[in-house]
Amino acid sequence: DTGVSQDPRHKITKRGQNVTFRCDPISEHNRLYWYRQTLGQGPEFLTYFQNEAQLEKSRLLSDRFSAERPKGSFSTLEIQRTEQGDSAMYLCASSLSTYSYEQYFGPGTRLTVT
Amino acid sequence: GEDVEQSLFLSVREGDSSVINCTYTDSSSTYLYWYKQEPGAGLQLLTYIFSNMDMKQDQRLTVLLNKKDKHLSLRIADTQTGDSAIYFCAESVNGGKLIFGQGTTLQVKP
C-alpha cells in the first residue's frame, strides 16, 4: 500500500492568487479528511468526505475555501484570493468507514503566501 | 465543548521512560489517539484506545485512560533518540473528525 499522497509538497504564492491542492487517499479508503496545521499548533479539522459526499465542514472553512471529491477517490482543496493568514500546512487523511477510527495522514502541503 | 490540552515540552535521557500527558473535555469522546510528528513530516498514528478501556500496551508504548478525570497518558519505555518528535493527543466521537491538542515536544538526550 502506497499510503496517502499529497501534491504539491510545497507551494509559494502571492496574496490574492488562487491555489489548488490534491490528495490521493489510500486505495479503497472511502473517508477523506482535510486538516490545517499552523506553526506550533495541532492540526485543525476543515472538512471530510465519505465517498463523494461532503459530510461536515468546519466554521474555519471560509467561503474562499472549497473542497471536492468528484468520483470518491482523490480530493482537491482550493483556496481563492489567498491571504497571508492562509499560510499553513494542509494535511489530508483517509480511513475506511468500517474502521473510521484509524485515520492515516499524508505528508502535507506547505503553503506560503507572500 | 471540545478541547484537548497537553504540556508543551518534555526532556528525558536515553533509556529512561517518558510519560506524556493529555486532558480532554468532551465526555462523549469514543476514541483517543496518540500521533507522532517528525520535523517536516505528516502525522504517524502510534496507537489509540477505545473509551471503554483503561489501558492498552503495544510494544514499548503503554496508554492509560482515566475516563473519570478525562486524562490520557502515553508512556514510552526505554526511550531512544529516534523517539524525539512532537506527540499529539487527539479525540474523536465515533471515529469522525479528530480534535488535536497543541502537541508535546519530546527531547531525548543521549
If chain B, 110 residues long, is cut into consecutive pieces of 10 residues, what is the mean pLDDT of each piece?
A: 87 97 87 93 92 93 94 97 96 87 96
Residues of A in contact with B31 (CB under 8 A): 101
A positions 38-77 inside 8 Å of B (CB): 40-45, 48, 56, 58
Residue A100 has pLDDT above 60, yes or no: yes
pLDDT score for A14:
98
The secondary structure of residue B69, as a DSSP letter, is T
Nearest to B100 among A42, A48, A95 (CB): A42
The per-residue pLDDT for B91 is 93
Counting residues of chain B whose pLDDT is more than 90, the rounded percentage is: 81
Interface check for B46 against chain A (CB to CB < 8 A): the answer is no
Question: Whole-number mean pLDDT of chain B?
Answer: 93
pLDDT at A1 over 70: no
Cis peptide before A43 (omega within 30 of 0): no
Cα–Cα distance list, A53 to A30, A50, A87, B22, B63 (Å): 10, 5, 27, 33, 34
Tell me which of B97, B100, B102, B105 to substitute to probe the interface with A (most A C-beta atoms closer than 10 Å).
B97
